[in-house]
Structure 1
């Protein structure tokens, strides 16, 4: 790693009102294992229980501590830290500037320092560096540099670029105090309808493994340390083969199926992640059906967590469940049941015990230490079992250097986050990830046949999905296709509307465009040479209109300027398809959800991508 974290504010001492604490756990000259034991031996049951819960936390827009969040039903920060003694949080909405995020973080650490032992907070986040419209799988970039989604990095296929991204994201995260990345997501996108494919590295096990390992190296470095961001790699043992592509955030998507018998194939990217040293693992919501493993959600699944992850792979890092396995909740004011698939009949207490018995260390999206304390006091879980996980959780705080440097330099955060160098790197990656699928020849004014792309600047442009003022930087914007030299249409992959606002964040269902959408594209293409750019958050069925297009590009998160820069040749498209693009919904429905490259007669195959001629 090239930078050093030089924070100006020193760690506060714990509150030792009785004067009887053994403070040697703060002695950085001692081995981490010894420091862990010194601290653990002084922790009450309640303090140990607080370690086991990592849930969402809000931040005030002005950098102050939150007094609660009605949208997600979150309590005030003081309740989390002071009463429940929690010190792991997944930050949701953040203030608009890096300086304010850093100020919020420091206030949060001050609140933690005021507790009896002064155990610092570990702040985590979902992805924040790419375009997304799903707040539950990724966060708006805000003041951070903006890159293509993970699938776009896979389209470029360059390990050095992925590692560069990880290193830049690490620097931006650590500048504001974020020390755990709830990513990368290295599931295999073998079921084309699955809503989470965009955040994966695609369909190929070998590519996903290489890219995932590079991603981890970028965030963590050669080994986890004070300059690192720990990665929580997900979703073990691979969340791609969902029945009918439905997502297990919801009861109708709870089943994970393996009609091709390829369970082992989905483990391959995780083997590369273990080799790269990923610090944490998150199991998925889904429950395996028809395998040798227990038919319960992976977070409850002892045969998977202990038998497969701990024993077969020897993983001794932190295992944190996906969010909300224990208690029902409300999101956007609507009831949202716990994702307790296969154990819906169990009480929350029984579910919590089953998760602990499975070998998990931490409950994601839960904030109920009192229940865990009661399970120990009743004899259903031993305190010695809690100590096993507490050691892992404390060990990481020590290794990350949080006890020595819990605070961040506010002024430095403003310099690092969204620096011109980082922004430029993200924009270059957006352009590079764009994938040229079709580039048909057109006859120019002099009668010469030449490829449609790159376009000349200054043409008359009819645009849809691009702001006219942005398009005007590249040509003369006109109001109808008939007036244009070329039309540029930006489309999104189709999805089915679902009953709730929350569920519509997860694009699911058919990949077919409507008859009206198809007719419109065809009508424009019949009037003028037409270039279509598609945001492939899922592999859309482009067959009905592709033959009529002059050119077709795909992107996985790119600004309008990034797309237009490629279309006019200021930058070259370097992307290659990270999955097979199916030719019909019939082929999708016949696809075995666990088998890579099982879609018959794809429109474009994995690895397809054209280049501009020299």
Structure 2
């Protein structure tokens, strides 16, 4: 039976809406609807999608449970274990499907073949259970949007939700019903290659992005047309490996897990994420795939998660190489007992669980409990009724021009202007010749990121081609690639292309790539340096020991810049990359620096729009930008030391480099200028369960329309634990015309003020004095204070006096538990 009704309206424009300030963090009352989720559903401007089931026909939880129980009652042990097995399609066979050995496939992306294997599962197996079809659709399927780190730089959840609605629509059009995204790992070390896949360093910003992505991918409910199943990863702590080395064991104290690394996952679960991927590595010496404290204790017992958990690829199998189990037989048993529902790729469950069930190491109830969430998700997704895709409509969806227009707009919104002396950008009409220099200028693949899915390089315009197209015949474009860069096998490292080299002040040889770059620059009115990293230098197993520009790019940049500036000619640096890079020299010598990340399929056009002023950069950094590798890790939400950092006798600094970052978290400039003023609180004192409102006026004082991101930070001055000097608790991206102003309001309540205390081992809001700042980065200067008091319980004291009620995080409650 063909399901030909799966169409969805493509979200138009940027989908921007007012921003909620509710913070999705851990709490005990996890069954209450998340305020952020409610606000997103109420005020999103994404065009509503028709659902596959009307509200009257959406099955109740009781009906879903009954259907799942009915299936389980009829299934054999082998069929149940088959549902726990995800097989890479390259290893697939029809016989495996017909035997019921497969519950899901990996890496199948042909709609005709997808329909065929679904027919096998539905029509020719005993239980007629449809397949889940998973694929790594990270930033887009055919149309690539900017990398996830760049998406966070928009500081615009509505825009990110709209992107993911289109990603889901293209993916569903192929018949793929499950993606292994979003990645929600907090990352504070840019040496780690997979920082490119997350939302940066801050749990509040990452949580807001998590909710937006889940809503975009899954829609208002599982099974909505044009939507797919999300899989949040990597649970948990994967983004904190020592030295940034991918897969290394991670050690995190519980206070950091609770307050920093877990909140984005909790937000995604509360937003309805249907699946979770456990991480590869060991957390505090226990592999995540066998970590019952995470998979059962946190995920199911504390958060009430009712979806299923899938391992990362072969992660159950690799518990043996990690030294956690003696053999794969033990790996299968420990993973299942810990709460791992599905084995991705290794077939460890398929091979070893039958014997464990036969020997009663795994009870039938335990087996049913492992299978039940998988069947439940398949029922909720409507796969039993609508398992097929109309392959005749696939290509039209994948090539929809509206998707390309949306991707172009999104890419322009992610760009961050880091420096712009003398208004070097946008390019002035008086410029008649432009030198485009750099190894990434004419490389479309560099714009596509490390997860290109099924995008076509031929459909991605290079920066050079886009600049030529936009400049037209009136502007001469000169091009010189300059020094090469590349990523080579570890054993064959080439110092000319990999290892960053110090600048050599000696004049380059006349025929060298650097000399050619300098000569080309001097022929033009303006030089654009297109530097950074190729896409292969970011992503999985792409960690780096240094964040310096790869190869001899630094040397070339310095030579070109000094020569051009001596000749009185402007230079702009365009960064194409997936992590912060060392641009400390450039930050004081290159007049303009534009960070465009890896901007996706329409990145070339978007960057040209920005360079020529057709678009105005308004992105903000989703992480703290270090000056050098030696500053890592560096993040804004650090604790205070024994001496205030601003004090004259502050000693916790480097003697060879400033302690401050090159650019702070939340930083970003514009072609126009903004002012923020009139910060006001509607009250200076609230009870611990209450809230206050902060308002501020933002005004565009320049001559161009532009975007400003208004950011709110708080600090608790004392309590049962030391709190970070500042924490992001609200933000809103605002578009203003020249001369226009707007009052932005934030609500600050328990969601923003609570934290997990290592003293009480609980979440709570503590009575104390608080600082509040509003500004355009984590260095915001507009400042107010307020006080949180304990709630008053009437007639609880002697003689009927009101006495303060203790909060959950008071010092004298469980003070001994450390």
Verify same fold: TM over 0.5: yes
What does residue 383 of structure 1 align with? 364
Pair 1:84–1:455, CA change in 2 (3 A): farther
Q: Which moved more, 1:82-91 or 1:309-318?
A: 82-91
Q: 1:393 maps to what in 2?
A: 374
Whether 1:586 aligns to 2:621 is no
Deviations 1:351-381 (A, max 9, x none): 1110011012111222341322222123221
Of residues 23, 37, 44, the one that matches 2:76 is 44
What are the Cα deviations for residues 476-531 of structure 1, in whole angstroms up to 9, with x where unaligned?
1225111111222222249999xxxx998523321123683311110111222322
DSSP-derived class of the 1:373 partner: helix
In structure 2, the residue matched to 1:138 is none
Q: Residue 61 of structure 1 corresponds to which residue in structure 2?
A: none
- Alpha-carbon contact 1:185-1:200 (below 8 Å) kept: yes
CA contact (8 A) 1:376 1:383 kept: yes
- Of 546-555 and 592-601, more deviation after overlay is shown by 592-601
Match of 2:134 among 115, 124, 128: 124
Q: 1:430 to 1:515 in 2, by over 3 A?
A: closer
Q: Which runs of 5+ in 2 are unaligned?
A: 8-57, 443-463, 480-519, 565-569, 642-657, 673-703, 705-818
Distance 1:513 1:417, change over 3 A: closer
CA distance in 2, matches of 1:513, 1:342: 34
Q: In the alignment, what sits opposite 1:570? A: 614
Q: Does 1:314 align with 2:308?
A: no
Tell me the secondary structure at the aligned position of residue 41 of structure 1. helix
Cα distance in 2 for residues equivalent to 1:244 and 1:127: 28
Indicate conservation of the 8 Å contact 1:243/1:593, yes or no: no
Which residues in structure 2 correspond to 1:143-542 (within 5 Å)?
144-227=142-225, 228-248=227-247, 253=248, 255-258=249-252, 262-264=256-258, 265-289=260-284, 295-327=285-317, 338=318, 340=320, 342-368=322-348, 369-441=350-422, 450-456=423-429, 458-464=432-438, 465-467=440-442, 468-473=464-469, 474=471, 475-479=475-479, 480-493=520-533, 505-513=541-549, 516-528=552-564, 529-542=570-583
Give CA-to-partner distance per residue, 1:337-359, whole Å, 9 cap, x none.
x2557534420110111001101
Q: How many residues align?
A: 525
Q: Which runs of 5+ in 1 are unaligned?
A: 9-26, 58-73, 95-100, 131-140, 290-294, 328-337, 442-449
Contact residue 197 and residue 539 of structure 2 kept, 8 A: no
Return the offset for 1:28. 8.2
d(CA) in 1 for partners of 2:551, 2:113: 49
Deviates most, 232-241 or 402-411: 232-241
SS in 2 for 1:523: helix
Aligned counterpart, 2:65: 33
- Alignment-derived partner of residue 121 in structure 2: 112
1:50 aligns to what SS in structure 2?
helix
Structure 1 CA distance, aligned partners of 2:101 and 2:169? 29
Name the CA distance, whole Å, in 2 between partners of 1:315 and 1:533: 43
Provide the C-alpha distance between the structure 2 equivalents of 1:430 and 1:388, rounded to a whole number of angstroms.
Answer: 44
Q: 1:260–1:594: 8 Å Cα contact kept in structure 2?
A: no
Give the match for residue 764 of structure 2: none
User: Which one scores higher on RCO, CA 8 angstroms, separation ≥ 6?
Assistant: 1
Measure the CA separation in 1 of the matches of 2:300 and 2:81. 22
Indicate the SS of the match to 2:552.
Answer: helix
Residues 187 and 266 of structure 1 are in contact (CA less than 8 Å); yes or no, is this contact kept in structure 2?
yes
| Distance change (3 Å), C-alpha of 1:434 and 1:565 | same
Moved more, 577-586 or 413-422: 413-422
Give the conservation status (yes or no) of the 8 Å contact 2:87–2:102.
Answer: no
1:470/1:494 CA distance change after superposition, 3 Å: closer
Mark the CA change 1:597 to 1:431 in structure 2 (over 3 Å): closer, same or farther.
Answer: farther
Give the distance between the partners of 1:340 and 1:261, measured in 2 at CA. Answer: 29
Matched residue SS, 1:314: coil
TM-aligned CA deviation for residue 279 of structure 1: 1.1
Contact 2:636–2:664 (CA<8 Å) still a contact in 1? no
Counterpart Cα distance in 2 of 1:241 and 1:593: 16
1:147 & 1:504 partners in 2: Cα distance? 19
Tell me the secondary structure at the aligned position of residue 578 of structure 1: coil
Extract structure 1 runs of 4+ deviating beyond 6 A: 27-30, 494-497, 592-599
RMSD: 3.0
Structure 2 residue matching 1:553: 3-state secondary structure:
strand
Q: Structure 2 residue aligned with 1:603, among 662, 677, 683?
A: 662
Aligned partners of 1:495, 1:31: CA distance in 2, in Å?
47
CA contact (8 A) 2:432 2:525 kept: no
Question: CA 1:112–1:513 in 2, change beyond 3 Å: closer, same or farther?
Answer: same
